[in-house]
Amino acid sequence: MKKLHLILWLPALIFFSCSPKINPSAGNVSEGTLRVMAYNIHHGNPPSKEGFIDLDAIAAAIKLQSPDLVALQEVDVNTKRSGGINEAVLLAQKLKMNFYFAKAIAHDGGDYGVAILSRFPMSEGKTFMLPKNSDPRAEQRVLATAKIEIAKNTFIRFASTHLDAQKTTENRILQAKEINQLLKDEMLPVVLGGDLNATPDAESIQIFDSLFARTCQTCDFTIPVINPTKTIDHIGYKPAIAFKVLSHQAIPERYASDHLPILSVLQYNPK
């Protein structure tokens, strides 16, 4: 497996290589639908087993839903706490999907960030650094995007992100505005999934909603995994006419992570 390598550095934009073609063929979108998952995987650590990494459980939870595209958050690459494994590579291999990893921070001898998995060919993987205030507790966050060929010569842009987790809202508002700015002029249809760390009534989600149509309005709760009480994981798309939401649900997988994965089934309208 080739290692990811740095190609270009700009002040707010980092390009990393996309994966070798684990799944090189682009099957057509099944019956015009896309199965899209967003999943904060808690670096593969089941909350009931402190310090234990069970990436097989994460892979099994994803595989059970047969997604076409997955937006992952809290992904470890070569960190000591996760045993020095590259979680993005291993999940891609286990699921026979292509991947793109976007580093947010250096952590515990390795890297930590978000990732994209795709059963379709992908290219143009990009990592955008999102803004934050001067609070030293504010962790750097990123937006990962990639161009996905969902059928022959038919492309969308898919994105994964993880917004600030502090109780104050300032950084999430800054980051939601930046994501909108980065993607507002994108000519391809865009689907974005992520842990936005905000409930649907929050100002940052209202900002997100000014550009994206979310796949649910009355949404299943996603956290905590036992007796969940709020929705902070979301999937959205633009333009609204490009997709029709056929279903959206939180998957009741309560062991593998501290978040429930969410799955949206979208009907793609290329017109």
Answer yes or no: are the C-beta atoms of 191 and 183 closer than 8 Å: no
Residue 72 confidence (pLDDT) above 70: yes
- Dist. CA 57–CA 44, nearest whole Å: 8
Closest alpha carbon to 119 in 23, 192, 1, 18 = 23
Number of neighbouring beta carbons within 10 Å of residue 251: 17
Higher pLDDT, 69 or 29: 69
pLDDT at 2: 37
Single pTM value for the model: 0.91
All domains of the chain in start order, with CATH: 12-23+32-268 (3.60.10.10)
Interhelix angle 55-65/87-95, nearest 10 degrees = 40
Which tens digit of pLDDT belongs to each residue from 96-147? 999 999 999 999 999 999 999 999 999 999 999 999 999 999 999 999 999 9
C-alpha 129/C-alpha 14 separation (Å) is 8
Dump pLDDT digits (tens) for 35-55.
Answer: 999 999 999 999 999 999 999
Rounded Cα gap, residues 80 and 77, in angstroms: 9
Instruction: Write down the pLDDT at residue 18.
Output: 63
Averaged pLDDT, 191-202:
98
Who's near 148: CB < 8 A, 6+ residues apart?
69, 118, 120, 121, 122, 155, 156, 157, 158
Please say if the pLDDT value at position 17 is more than 90. Answer: no
Alpha-carbon distance of 61 to 39, in angstroms, equals: 10
- Residue (of 163, 149, 171) closest to 268 by Cα position: 149
Q: At 270, is the pLDDT very low, low, confident or very high (cuts 50, 70, 90)?
A: confident
Q: Could you tell me which of 95, 144, 145, 154 has the C-alpha nearest to residue 119?
A: 95
| pLDDT the model gives residue 99 | 98
Nearest in space to 87 (alpha carbons), one of 192, 4, 183: 4
- Quick one: pLDDT band at residue 269, thresholds 50, 70, 90? confident
> pLDDT digit string (tens) for 205-218?
999 999 999 999 99
The yes-or-no verdict on residue 255 having pLDDT over 80 is: yes
Find all residues with CB under 8 Å of 34, minimum gap 6, and list them.
Answer: 68, 69, 150, 191, 243, 265, 266, 267, 268
